[in-house]
């Protein structure tokens, strides 16, 4: 078996609307090994969710378009497979935990039937008794009594709904989970429970995960690798140790860390990253972060390349270009 579960090369995604063309993802490249956890961080509009939807081939039809690049998932070329084969892979090889559990469930189907639906699609030879047993086991695994499988989504709290969404995503034991801010709608206590649950299930099933989040604390707690996105591209990628304890950081990553409150210092005002994320409808030739960067110079008019500043730690910034 190849070591790489997922390889994305030079991915570019556009949303074509009547008003303008939005360049949502621009030349993104990253990879993920079997059983590995990658944290995908960055501010709103960075292209994190679009990247996940591209992997699943779930971009809005007629609007979202992958214009360049390659996505190889478990040996499958996702951009050249027929739709029938893509459906076989969704839920079975790759699953997505969507951002809002309140709108991710069908209000007129019992939660048990919604978990069972995924099993029936991908396991056509399972008997009715086997399906029911698998649903019971999955509900118990995510901490919900199996005798509640005949209840409807409105009968559950937000945290319980998120557990059901996780159960649906994991019931076929996929090789990759795309978790799109799975704790955003939950309070802090339930957040910790959900992260612990996802980590436990991931280890038990040896599932790889891409965790999309704004919360660097969550990334530090759960992820082995970290990719920092800005304006549709990965500007830094490395191990969690590289990002949180390393001596080299992209100026944007450093800005994110500076904006976090520190318990061991008395700070009257947190640092902010001045300015706004670039207009996604405008193509930018040079460094996308230059207008907000304290270190920007004339050389930033030229687009930087990824530089390996230490083994396994890559940064896209002219500060680290030897010949820039």
Residue 186 has pLDDT above 70, yes or no: no
Has residue 252 got a pLDDT over 50? yes
3-state secondary structure of 221: helix
- What does the alpha-carbon distance between residue 295 and residue 273 come to, in Å, rounded to a whole number? 13
Q: How far is it, in rounded angstroms, from Cα 79 to Cα 10? A: 13
- pTM for the full predicted model: 0.89
- Which tokens belong to 239? 């191990």
Residue with tokens 């040996």: 75
Residue 220's CB: how many other CB atoms inside 10 A? 14
pLDDT digits (tens, 9 = 90+) for 74-128: 999 999 999 999 999 998 999 999 877 778 899 999 999 999 999 999 988 889 9
State yes or no: pLDDT of 208 exceeds 80: yes
- Residue of 163, 176, 51 whose CA lies nearest to 104: 163
Euclidean distance between CA atoms 48 and 181, whole angstroms: 10
Q: What gap in Å lies between CA 189 and CA 320, rounded to an integer?
A: 40
Q: Is the pLDDT of residue 323 over 60?
A: no
Residue 252: CA atoms inside 13 Å, Cβ hemisphere, count?
27
Determine the average pLDDT of the residues in 224-243.
95
306-310 β-sheet, strand order: 94-97, 176-180, 208-213, 37-41, 225-230, 233-239, 313-316, 306-310
CA–CA separation, 195 and 189 (whole Å): 10
Three-class secondary structure of residue 75 per DSSP: coil
pLDDT digits (tens, 9 = 90+) for 60-79: 999 999 999 999 999 999 99
pLDDT of 277 > 70? The answer is: yes
Q: What is the pLDDT of residues 11-48, one digit of tens each?
A: 999 999 999 999 999 999 999 999 999 999 988 889 99
End-to-end alpha carbon distance in the chain: 40
**pLDDT given at position 200:** 81
Beta strand residue intervals within 255-321, DSSP E:
306-310, 313-316
The pLDDT, as a whole number, for residue 2 is 53
> How is the beta sheet containing 4-16 ordered, strand by strand?
21-33, 4-16, 64-73, 76-77
Angle at 96 between CA 94 and CA 101, to 5 degrees: 155
Q: Where are the alpha helices (DSSP H) in the chain?
A: 48-56, 83-89, 101-104, 111-122, 128-141, 158-170, 188-205, 216-222, 240-245, 251-258
């Amino acid at each position: 078996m190849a070591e790489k579960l997922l390889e994305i090369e030079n991915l570019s995604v556009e949303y074509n609307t009547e008003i303008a063309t939005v360049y949502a993802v621009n030349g993104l490249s990253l990879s993920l090994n079997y059983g590995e956890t990658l944290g995908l961080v960055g501010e709103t509009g960075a292209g994190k969710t679009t990247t996940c939807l591209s992997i699943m081939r779930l971009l809005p039809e007629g609007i979202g378009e992958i214009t360049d690049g390659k996505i190889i998932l478990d040996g499958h070329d996702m951009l050249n497979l027929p739709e029938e084969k893509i459906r076989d892979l969704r839920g079975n090889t790759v699953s997505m935990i969507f951002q809002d559990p309140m709108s991710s469930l069908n209000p007129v189907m019992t939660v048990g039937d919604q978990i069972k639906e995924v099993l029936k699609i991908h396991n056509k030879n399972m008997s009715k008794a086997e399906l029911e047993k698998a649903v019971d086991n999955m509900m118990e695994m995510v901490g919900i009594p199996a005798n509640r499988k005949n209840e409807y989504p409105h009968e559950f709290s937000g945290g319980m709904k998120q557990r059901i969404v996780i159960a649906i995503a994991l019931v076929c034991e996929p090789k990759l989970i795309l978790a799109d801010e799975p704790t955003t709608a939950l309070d802090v206590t339930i957040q910790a429970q959900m992260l612990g649950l996802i980590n436990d299930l991931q280890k038990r099933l040896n599932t790889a995960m891409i965790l999309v989040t704004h919360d660097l604390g969550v990334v530090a707690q759960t992820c082995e690798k970290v990719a920092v996105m800005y304006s549709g591209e990965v500007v830094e990628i490395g191990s969690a140790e590289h990002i949180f304890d390393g001596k080299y950081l992209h100026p944007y990553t450093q800005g994110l860390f500076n904006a976090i409150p520190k318990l061991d210092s008395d700070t009257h005002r947190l640092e902010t990253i001045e300015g706004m994320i670039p207009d996604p409808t405008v193509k930018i030739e040079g460094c996308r972060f230059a207008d907000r960067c304290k270190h920007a110079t004339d050389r930033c008019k030229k687009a930087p390349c990824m530089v390996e500043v230490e083994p396994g730690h890559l940064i896209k910034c002219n500060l680290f270009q030897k010949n820039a």
